[in-house]
């Protein structure tokens, strides 16, 4: 009798398997088999008294003086995961853009960012990730002769928060940053030192992000609200624009990207401000999109929210970074 009672439930789950699979599944459309260079996975080093790991792609076109681009994962994730989530595009683009992409791993899958209330171990143990990145930069200077004046950071979610921290506390170490799905924490949740030095930055945030709220509020991940309150995306952008001496009310350029993905409820608008010392501040408003990395070749699971597939995030980021070198 018990099995007969369970049968309808089993049939219900089976009949809805397609919907459930779509809700949780992710489907990269790019293949790392197309790559001409060498992928070096999970290199382990001793940094700050801990064993830390990273992976990186050495393009077949690599030569001395290349740039370095850190690609940082979000909470409970990894370098390998963010490489996949970006559709291997940072590797593909490295072949023609003269840089090495590095997929560093946070301490116990997290970065020690500026959010004071965060309860993950990287924060509670106060892991010195600034020193860790200084160590990694020196390592790549020694091993692959990268140009230390051409170091860039981009990160998603917790990785985006780490990019903010590097821009706030160590702008002398990096040329520019790109942040995806992250807003600066409010003052009462802020635990970083502000150098006050302007830096070029591009922010990509989705208006329908239920994890990092575009319009500010509590960051919530699977019911965990310990990451606390963040500013709105406009307030976050305004901080960097004002630091660069730009007026938010008078952008230098607004770019509306054409609709190409067949999803009329999503769109992308980029607003540019030019600041002192040739700083470039940009906001990519991903209208209708969720906690995603804008991509034309990677489908995020539905619970993350709608994708922003009118643009390629990696392509825009690499183009932005290249522009800071002109």
For residue 299, the model assigns a pLDDT of: 85
- As given in the structure block, the two tokens for residue 172 are 């002398």
* Domain around 54: 31-323
Q: Find, among 137, 133, 67, the residue nearest to 98 by Cα.
A: 67
Spatial contact of 239 and 184, defined as CB atoms under 8 Å apart: yes
Q: What is the pLDDT of residue 263?
A: 85
- pLDDT of 9 above 90: no
Is 171 domain-assigned?
Answer: yes
Report how many domains make up the chain.
1
Q: What are phi and psi of 183, to 5 degrees?
A: -120, 155
What average pLDDT does range 117-126 have in this prediction? Answer: 95
pLDDT score at 32 = 64
58-94 pLDDT, tens digit per residue, is 999 999 999 999 999 999 999 999 999 999 999 999 9
Percent of the chain with pLDDT over 70: 90
Least confident of 133-142, 219-228, 248-257: 219-228
Within 8 A by CB and 6+ apart from 22, the residues are: 301, 302
Least-confidence region, from 8-22, 51-65, 210-224, 266-280: 8-22
Question: pLDDT tens, 134-146?
Answer: 999 999 999 999 9
The pLDDT score that the predictor gives to residue 48 is 94
Q: Answer whether residue 20 shows pLDDT above 90.
A: no
Length of the chain: 326
Tell me whether residue 25 is in a domain. no
The predicted structure's pLDDT at residue 222: 86
pLDDT at res. 5: 43
Q: Give whole-number Cα distances, 39 to 19, 42, 69, in Å.
A: 35, 10, 15
Structure tokens at 14: 């089976």
CA dihedral angle for residue 7, residue 8, residue 14, residue 19, rounded to 10 degrees = -160
Sign, CA dihedral 293-299-301-302, equals: positive
91/56 Cα distance (integer angstroms): 9
**Least confident span in 7-21, 24-38, 41-55, 184-198:** 7-21
In a domain, 254, yes or no: yes
Query: Which residues have C-beta within 8 Å of that of residue 109, sequence separation ≥ 6?
Result: 73, 75, 76, 77, 78
User: Do the beta carbons of residue 206 and residue 237 sit within 8 Å?
Assistant: no
187 pLDDT higher than 90: yes
In a domain, 284, yes or no: yes
* Cβ pair 191, 122 in contact under 8 A: no
Q: Using the 8-state DSSP alphabet, how is residue 90 labeled?
A: H
Q: How confident is the model at residue 49 (pLDDT cuts 50, 70, 90)?
A: very high
Residue 15 belongs to some domain of the structure: no
Residue 40 belongs to a domain with what CATH number? 3.40.50.1820
Would you state the pLDDT for residue 31?
62
DSSP bridge pairs for 33? none
Which residues sit opposite 123 in a β-bridge? none
Q: Cα(42)–Cα(83) distance, rounded to whole angstroms?
A: 13
289 versus 10: the higher-pLDDT residue is 289
Residue 164 domain-assigned (yes or no):
yes
| Phi, psi of 62, deg, nearest 5 | -60, 140
Q: Is the residue at 49 inside a domain? A: yes
Is 269 a residue whose pLDDT tops 60?
yes
Choice among 109-113, 160-164, 184-188, 298-302 with the minimum mean pLDDT: 298-302
Any domain includes 313: yes
């Amino acid at each position: 009798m018990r099995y007969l009672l369970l049968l309808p439930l089993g049939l219900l789950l089976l009949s809805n398997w397609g919907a459930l699979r779509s809700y949780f599944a992710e489907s990269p459309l790019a293949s790392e088999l197309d790559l001409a260079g060498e992928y070096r996975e999970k290199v382990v080093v001793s940094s700050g008294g801990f064993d830390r790991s990273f992976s990186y792609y050495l393009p077949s076109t690599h030569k001395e003086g290349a740039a370095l681009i850190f690609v940082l994962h979000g909470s409970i994730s990894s370098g390998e995961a963010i490489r996949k989530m970006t559709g291997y595009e940072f590797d593909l683009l490295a072949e023609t853009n003269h840089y090495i992409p590095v997929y560093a791993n946070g301490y116990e899958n997290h970065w020690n960012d500026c959010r004071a209330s965060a309860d993950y171990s990287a924060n509670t143990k106060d892991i010195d990730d600034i020193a860790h990145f200084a160590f990694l930069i020196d390592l790549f200077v020694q091993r692959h002769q990268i140009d230390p004046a051409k170091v860039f950071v981009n990160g998603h979610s917790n990785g985006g928060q780490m990019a903010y921290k590097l821009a706030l506390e160590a702008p002398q170490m990096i040329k520019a940053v790109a942040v995806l799905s992250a807003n600066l924490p409010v003052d009462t949740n802020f635990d970083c030192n502000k150098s006050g030095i302007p830096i070029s930055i591009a922010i990509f945030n989705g208006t329908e992000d239920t994890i990092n709220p575009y319009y500010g509020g509590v960051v919530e991940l699977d019911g965990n609200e310990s990451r606390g309150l963040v500013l709105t995306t406009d307030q976050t952008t305004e901080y960097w624009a004002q630091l660069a001496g730009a007026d938010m009310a008078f952008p230098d350029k607004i770019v509306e990207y054409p609709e190409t993905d067949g999803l009329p409820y999503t769109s992308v608008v980029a607003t540019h401000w030019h600041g002192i010392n040739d700083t470039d501040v940009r906001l990519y408003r991903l209208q209708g999109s969720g906690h995603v990395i804008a991509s034309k070749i990677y489908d995020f699971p539905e619970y993350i929210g709608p994708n922003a597939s009118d643009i390629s995030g990696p392509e825009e980021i690499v183009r932005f970074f290249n522009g800071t070198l002109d």
